[in-house]
Amino acid sequence: MKIVPLAERPDLAEQVSAWGFDEWGHLNQGQTPQTRLAEVRGEMNVDRVPVTFVALGEDGGIVGTAALIFDDLVGDPRNPWLASVYVPPEHRKKGIASALVRAVEGKARELGYARLYLFTTSAPALYAGLGWRALEQRDYRGEHIQVMDKVL
Ligand SMILES: CC(C)(COP(=O)(O)OP(=O)(O)OC[C@H]1O[C@@H](n2cnc3c(N)ncnc32)[C@H](O)[C@@H]1OP(=O)(O)O)[C@@H](O)C(=O)NCCC(=O)NCCS
């Protein structure tokens, strides 16, 4: 498995976008598959935020994705954020998400950030195991979220 910026594999933007829309589209009012795809295409950077990464299997097929973005929680002044961590069901529990999280942390550090944030409804234990610290919990757009941070 290797992790590369989506910019190196623009052919995978539609898959990244489709996963993100199915998983989190409901959190973003007014988002459509088309607007999500445009956003993902706007994250095809290498050395500046926002940058989306993809994990590739032995055959070069996509087995996961994660992104480093500037803003995530609307109205929250903190930045930047680890976001959109997704691994399809058939590839879970093999360490792919953990590797993607580390890749995003590494990129944030390389770009000079000292701290990274995320929010999650589903996977606080995964991040805690990777050294992330739980901050506040709150309701956000109908979901109960846990905000976390990591000093890089
Ligand atoms: C949450 C999600 C990203 C995890 O992806 P993953 O690739 O399965 O994650 P990892 O394999 O790195 O770690 C998952 C667990 O598998 C364990 N694991 C890692 N490698 C393993 C291996 N070789 N054998 C068995 N277990 C393993 C990890 O210890 C971890 O355990 P934990 O959950 O108790 O911490 C994935 O389930 C997903 O995409 N879910 C839907 C979207 C989502 O909720 N995203 C997170 C939003 S913030």
15-70 per-position pLDDT tens digit? 999 999 999 998 888 999 999 999 999 999 999 999 999 999 999 999 999 999 99
For the chain, give every domain's residue range: 2-151
pTM of the shown model: 0.95
Structure tokens belonging to residue 16: 């990244």
The Cα 58–Cα 132 span in angstroms is 29
The Cα 139–Cα 152 span in angstroms is 27
Q: Are 46 and 7 in contact (CB under 8 A)?
A: yes
According to DSSP, the β-strands at 115-120 and 143-151 are: antiparallel
Average pLDDT on 6-13 reads 98
What CATH code is assigned to 2-151?
Answer: 3.40.630.30
| 125 CB near ligand 1 (under 6 Å) | yes
Cβ neighbors of 48 (< 8 A, separation 6 or more) are 111
- For ligand 1, what atom is nearest to the CA of residue 120? 48
| 92 CB near ligand 1 (under 6 Å) | yes
Q: Are 49 and 69 in contact (CB under 8 A)?
A: yes
Average pLDDT on 90-108 reads 98
Choose the residue to mutate in 68, 93, 146, 147 for probing ligand 1, maximizing ligand atoms within 8 Å of C-beta. Answer: 93
